[in-house]
Amino acid sequence: MGIESYGLSVGSLPHGQRNSIADVADVKVGHSTIEDPGRGLHTGVTVVVPCEGPVFSTRPVAAAHSLNGFGKTCGTVQVAELGYLETPIALTGTMNVGRVADALVENALREEERAGHALPQSVNPVVGETNDGRISRIQARPVGTKEVLAAIDGASKDFAHGAVGAGRGTVCFGLKGGIGSSSRIVDEGGRSWTVGVLVQTNFGRMPDLMVCGRHMGPQILERIAEDTDARAPEKGSVMVVVATDAPLSSRQLGRVIRRATVGLVRCGSYMGHGSGDIFLGFTTGLSMGAEGSALPTCERVPEESLDALFRACAEATEEAVLDSLVSAEAATGLDGTVYHSLTEFL
């Protein structure tokens, strides 16, 4: 049930069949959720698988952008430099990044071995994170190889949204955050392309929250005035993963993913000091292939046609954030703070 279930809508472009990042061909998403109340663990990992077959030898064209760099991501420097992925994109809690990166290397080795390829001597694992320490005992670092491989092996077109996987312990605009997703279809120059977005939301202040153009934050704050945490400074982060089937160069893709900023602002974010706002993007419409392969012949979207993709990214990001809020059920933090679901106020 997305935001449309409440009679609300975002933007003007149509969305895909699933209204998720999985509307982009070959893209799948998997989760592993750790739920152990006795140990204070409410966390997990979410993996975006960008293609069929080994990611390392396919090398989908990719881009990375840091809007506000208060984050502990892994692998984004090489993505920005070389413009392609070598592993799926994994999202998790801050303290799990190193363990998840190691698991992605393990997965790359097993995929290449299964494909009969020579094993790589270097792998660039891509991991994003937000700090879920308000709801989960983050220092336990419970996400490891078992959970990451399970998320990859269980990845599918139809995946859960809300307080699952990497979104299990997140907080967004003082409400329960999580994993959200949306998509948009654009027609340009006689061609149809899909832009899909997946977010891990852990950012924003309740007084700033906008829902489809309505400034709802102050109204919600009035109703839960006893919850002082809702007035606290912004201290979370957001990961935005953008996928498309449009044939874009890494430079063009970077231009597109930067428009996720528009979607975040429409929800009320101002990217505070303590917020890491990191964007990753890839296209299934163009890949680099294995090292040493022949020079590829490839088409590119004309620069003047990018406007439609810019709009699609902005709209899908805004709706993905709202989707994370309406898909997540209320949760209680480690200190007893209740993080309500947005559905309680719609």
332 alpha-carbon distance from chain centroid = 23
Is 275 annotated in the active site? yes
Share of the chain above pLDDT 90, in %: 86
- Residue 66 CA to residue 334 CA, distance in Å, equals 30
Contacts of 148 (CB under 8 A, 6+ apart): 32, 45, 47, 90, 100, 103, 104, 107
Alpha carbon distances (Å) from 298 to 61, 209, 339: 12, 42, 48
Residue-wise pLDDT tens digits, 19-38: 999 999 999 999 999 999 99
Comparing CA positions, the residue from 91, 102, 95 lying closest to residue 239 is 91
Alpha carbon distances (Å) from 271 to 67, 211, 259: 8, 17, 14
Average pLDDT of the chain to the nearest whole number: 94
The tokens for 105 are 């290397």
- Residue 253 CA to residue 232 CA, distance in Å, equals 35
Is 132 annotated in the active site? no
- Residue 273 CA to residue 270 CA, distance in Å, equals 9
List 183, 237, 269, 327, catalytic entry: 237
Q: Is the pTM of this model over 0.85?
A: yes
Is 122 annotated in the active site? no
Alpha carbon distances (Å) from 175 to 128, 210, 221, 256, 328: 21, 13, 10, 28, 9
List 23, 208, 245, 277, catalytic entry: 277
The answer as to CATH 3.30.70.1520 being correct for domain 3-332 is no
Which segments of the chain have a pLDDT < 70? 226-231, 290-298
Concatenated DSSP letters of 18-75? SSSGGGSTT-EEEEEEEEEGGGTEEEEEEEEE-SSS-HHHH-EEEEEEEEEE----BS
Domain boundaries, the chain: 3-332
The tokens for 226 are 């006893």
List 32, 269, 275, 324, catalytic entry: 275
Comparing CA positions, the residue from 66, 145, 48 lying closest to residue 101 is 145
Comparing CA positions, the residue from 46, 326, 17 lying closest to residue 159 is 46
- Strand, coil or helix: what is 179? strand
- The one-letter amino acid at 103: A
Q: DSSP assignment, residue 91?
A: E
- Residue 46 CA to residue 166 CA, distance in Å, equals 5
- What b/e string do you get for 306-322 counting C-beta neighbours within 10 Å, with b at 16 or more? bebbbbbbbbbbbbbbb
